[in-house]
């Protein structure tokens, strides 16, 4: 290597360091890179979420049922529950109004109308899908009667009872459940990740829902060996969508150079649970990555933050219509953005 070339490299490094220092001092953060392309299997896509992420997981499952294998719904209500009425319908949809649960029959009518208009996939595509649903008996945010309606909606939509796993006897609060990390089981507090003991051992919810969706899987690893990659979400949806600048994806070593055959799981955080609020807790400590490492699975962690325009003060996914009337259809700005991310992961470079 020539002395001139060496000096040039040092100069570039110094310039990059200086630019980073200036950006840091001014509070400007460099945008993440584009989401990489992979060779993942488009027929092996699934989705799960907590709270608003669970409502969103239901919407994604229903809107794109022809390309989604199954869903994990942790403390979430039925499809299109808010009916475009916005936050005014939230109390009923979250089961907060005694003796007035959501009506899944009305949600089914809405889904049938959207399907007939070609705005979501045919409901017949749900019949082979597998749905895991969870409601903690101590949940004081999304009450059991709302989650009961979710189970009934999927049954009315044609999902066989044998394909639905409804776990509703664990004394858990409002949280995604892990075997060891987080709050005590009954907590209803940030970061909305808790640990529970079921039948004498820690309850691994990520494993429970992934196993229900995919069938027998290899046991999770104790220590992950893959990498978290940040990517620019505004390539898929601009700031008016309410989505954060950056999303994250966990890439196990088995999905590196040759990722053909890798599965894709979309994990959707709840309100007040994005990386801006809870740091890396949701995308690194909820157990998904441990299962991904041993089962050739990419885990996509899209992000949405609190915003005033659109009005979303707690950083929730849009299940009430704050992004517009198409929020629960394939044309919904957030749903279509997530689908485009999945398409990128399952596309040849």
Structure tokens at 121: 């996939």
Is 234 a known active-site residue? no
- pLDDT confidence of residue 349: 58
* C-alpha distances in Å from residue 184, one per residue of 136, 174, 272: 13, 11, 19
Question: Which H/E stretch holds residue 49?
Answer: strand 45-50
Question: Residue 141 pLDDT > 90, yes or no?
Answer: yes
Q: Per residue in 260-309, pLDDT tens?
A: 889 999 999 999 999 999 999 999 999 999 999 999 999 999 999 999 99
Within a 10 A sphere around the Cβ of 179, how many other Cβ atoms? 19
- pLDDT confidence of residue 260: 80
- Per annotation, catalytic residue among 51, 52, 254, 259: 51
- Measuring CA to CA, which residue among 292, 211, 300 is closest to residue 252? 292
The whole-number average pLDDT for the span 158-178 is 98
Is 24 a known active-site residue? no
Question: Residue 215 pLDDT > 70, yes or no?
Answer: yes
The whole-number average pLDDT for the span 160-170 is 98
The rounded mean pLDDT for the chain is 91
Quote the radius of gyration of the chain (alpha carbons, Å): 21
Question: Residue 9 pLDDT > 80, yes or no?
Answer: no
User: Mind giving me the DSSP string for 296-312?
Assistant: TEEEEE--B--BTTTTB
Q: Per residue in 28-40, pLDDT tens?
A: 333 479 999 988 9
- pLDDT confidence of residue 29: 35
- Per annotation, catalytic residue among 139, 204, 281, 293: 139
Is 105 a known active-site residue? no
- pLDDT confidence of residue 145: 97
Taking each helix axis as running N to C, give the angle between helix 333-345 and helix 52-63, from 0 to 180 degrees, rounded to the nearest 10: 70
Least confident residue range of 61-70, 250-259, 335-344: 250-259
Confidence of residue 14 (pLDDT cuts 50, 70, 90): very low
How far apart CA 42 and CA 340 sit, in angstroms, is 12
Residues 6+ apart with CB under 8 A from 27: none
- pLDDT confidence of residue 186: 98
Confidence of residue 86 (pLDDT cuts 50, 70, 90): confident
Question: Residue 170 pLDDT > 70, yes or no?
Answer: yes
Q: Per residue in 216-267, pLDDT tens?
A: 999 999 999 999 999 999 999 999 999 999 999 999 999 976 678 899 999 9
* C-alpha distances in Å from residue 340, one per residue of 19, 133, 198, 281: 32, 26, 37, 25
For tokens 């596309």, the residue is 347
- pLDDT confidence of residue 257: 64
- pLDDT confidence of residue 10: 36
- Per annotation, catalytic residue among 52, 174, 204, 318: 174
Q: Per residue in 305-332, pLDDT tens?
A: 999 999 999 999 999 999 999 999 999 9
Question: Residue 18 pLDDT > 50, yes or no?
Answer: no
Chain centroid to CA 169:
23
Long-range CB contact pairs, 101-105, < 8 A, 24+: 101/145, 101/146, 101/148, 101/149, 102/77, 102/78, 102/145, 102/146, 102/149, 103/149, 104/78, 104/149, 104/150, 104/152, 104/153, 104/156, 105/156
Q: Where are the domains of the chain?
A: 38-345
Question: Which H/E stretch holds residue 160?
Answer: none
């Amino acid at each position: 290597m020539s002395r001139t070339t060496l000096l040039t490299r040092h100069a570039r490094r110094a310039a990059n360091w200086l630019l980073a220092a200036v950006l840091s001092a001014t509070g400007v953060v460099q945008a993440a890179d584009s989401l990489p392309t992979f060779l993942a299997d488009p027929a092996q896509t699934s989705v799960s979420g907590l709270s608003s992420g669970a409502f969103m997981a239901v919407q994604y499952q229903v809107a794109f049922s022809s390309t989604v294998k199954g869903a994990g719904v942790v403390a979430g209500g039925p499809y299109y529950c808010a009916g475009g009425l916005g936050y005014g319908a939230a109390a009923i949809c979250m089961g907060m109004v005694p003796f007035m649960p959501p009506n899944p029959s009305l949600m089914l009518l809405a889904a049938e109308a959207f399907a007939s208009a070609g705005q979501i996939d045919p409901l017949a595509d749900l019949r082979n899908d597998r749905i895991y649903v969870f409601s903690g008996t101590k949940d004081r945010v999304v009450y059991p009667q709302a989650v009961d309606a979710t189970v009934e909606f999927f049954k009315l939509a044609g999902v066989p009872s044998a394909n639905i796993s409804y776990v509703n006897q664990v004394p858990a609060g409002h949280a995604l459940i892990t075997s060891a990390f987080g709050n005590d089981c009954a907590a209803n507090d940030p970061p909305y990740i808790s640990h529970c003991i079921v039948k004498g051992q820690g309850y691994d919810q990520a494993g429970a829902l992934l196993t229900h969706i995919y069938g027998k899987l290899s046991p999770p690893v104790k220590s992950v060996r893959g990498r978290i990659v940040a990517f620019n979400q505004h390539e898929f949806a601009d700031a008016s969508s309410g989505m954060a600048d950056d999303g994250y994806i966990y890439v196990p070593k088995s999905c590196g150079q040759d990722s053909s055959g890798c599965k894709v799981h979309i994990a959707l955080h709840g309100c007040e649970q994005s990386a801006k609020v809870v740091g890396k807790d949701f995308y690194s400590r909820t157990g998904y990555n441990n299962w991904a490492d041993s089962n050739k699975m990419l885990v996509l962690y899209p992000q949405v933050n609190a915003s005033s325009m659109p009005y979303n003060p707690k950083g929730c996914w849009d299940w009430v219509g704050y992004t517009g009337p198409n929020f629960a259809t394939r044309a919904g700005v957030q749903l279509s953005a997530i689908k485009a991310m999945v398409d990128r992961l399952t596309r040849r470079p």
